[in-house]
């Protein structure tokens, strides 16, 4: 009986298995989604603050942030407008590093993340801890382009990409959830792409 060669060979992993429901692979493209005018921020003007319900409100300059232990993410990102992008590498600092310096208070449960432009987005604090969130200034080994949030943006790749605030300037810890820009306009407070939490009520 003839044996079909390759019959038992493992099929390459279907990219569909990496795509959350309702998403498509944007391939080599990287759409730009910006609600406000793109700001030009020189690195020496940029800083990141962690404040609100913390023991030690702390601000890091560009140089101070770069002196912290470097941390990277390689993987996929998912935008609520249905594009996903596979295998992007971002580098910067883990949000855990910033939080451990600032010392979240016992009553800190949520974060409102601010951009210097006024854009805001809210997250449960638990989505910013445990190696799941970064402040990044490099993508695929190059400085983060201005239109993608350079000199530095938040990166929370396990949630829809609107949570990844471009031109991030401040992480404010809160006891109660306080909605950000898109959340006030109907987007979900958490935004897990695997649960398809696109809109309020999903």
CA distance 25 to 76: 10
Q: Name the minimum Å distance from CB 167 to ligand MTE.
A: 5
Give phi and psi for 136, each to the nearest 5: -120, 145
Closest CB to ligand MTE among 79 and 102? 79
CA distance 116 to 47: 9
Name the residue with tokens 């210097």.
116
Indicate whether 115 belongs to the interface with ligand MTE (CB under 6 A): yes
Of 107-166, binders to Mo ion (CB under 5 A) are 162
Pick from 23, 84, 91, 117 the residue near ligand MTE by CB under 6 A: 117
Which of the listed partners (ligand MTE, Mo ion, none) does 67 bind, with a CB threshold of 5 to 8 Å by partner kind? Answer: none
Cα–Cα separations (whole angstroms), residue 71 to 94, 133, 184: 6, 10, 32
Q: Name the minimum Å distance from CB 106 to Mo ion.
A: 33
Indicate whether 119 belongs to the interface with ligand MTE (CB under 6 A): yes
Contact 141, 61 (CB under 8 A): no
CA distance 134 to 99: 11
Q: Which of 116, 122, 95, 140 is nearest to 184 (CA)?
A: 122
With contacts defined by CB under 6 A, name the span among 20-28, 53-61, 94-102, 115-123 that binds ligand MTE. 115-123
Pick from 49, 54, 79, 113 the residue near Mo ion by CB under 5 A: 79
DSSP-based three-state secondary structure for 115: strand
Of 9-68, binders to ligand MTE (CB under 6 A) are 30-36
Which of the listed partners (ligand MTE, Mo ion, none) does 165 bind, with a CB threshold of 5 to 8 Å by partner kind? Answer: ligand MTE
Which of the listed partners (ligand MTE, Mo ion, none) does 115 bind, with a CB threshold of 5 to 8 Å by partner kind? Answer: ligand MTE
Which of the listed partners (ligand MTE, Mo ion, none) does 187 bind, with a CB threshold of 5 to 8 Å by partner kind? Answer: none
CA distance 140 to 115: 23
Closest CB to ligand MTE among 129 and 146? 146
Residue 80, burial from CB neighbour count under 10 angstroms (0-12, 13-18, 19+)? buried
Q: Which residues bind ligand MTE (CB under 6 A)?
A: 30-36, 79, 115, 117, 119, 148-149, 161-162, 164-167
């Amino acid at each position: 009986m003839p044996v079909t060669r390759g019959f038992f060979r493992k099929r390459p992993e279907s990219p569909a298995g990496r795509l959350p429901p309702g998403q498509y692979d944007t391939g080599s493209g990287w759409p730009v989604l910006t609600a406000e005018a793109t700001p030009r921020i020189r690195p020496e003007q940029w800083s990141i603050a962690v404040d609100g319900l913390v023991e030690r409100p702390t601000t890091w300059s560009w140089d101070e942030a770069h002196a912290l232990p470097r941390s990277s993410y390689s993987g996929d990102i998912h935008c609520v407008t249905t594009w996903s992008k596979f295998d992007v590498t971002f580098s910067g600092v883990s949000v855990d590093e910033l939080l451990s310096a600032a010392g979240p208070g016992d009553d800190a449960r949520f974060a409102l993340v601010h951009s210097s432009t006024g854009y805001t987005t809210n997250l449960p604090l638990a989505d910013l801890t445990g190696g799941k969130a970064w402040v990044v200034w490099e993508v695929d080994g190059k400085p983060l382009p201005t239109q993608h949030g350079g000199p530095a943006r938040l990166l929370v790749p396990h949630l829809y990409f609107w949570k990844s605030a471009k031109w991030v300037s401040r992480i404010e810890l809160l006891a109660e959830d306080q909605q950000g820009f898109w959340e006030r306009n109907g987007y979900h407070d958490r935004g897990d792409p695997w649960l398809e939490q696109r809109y309020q009520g999903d």
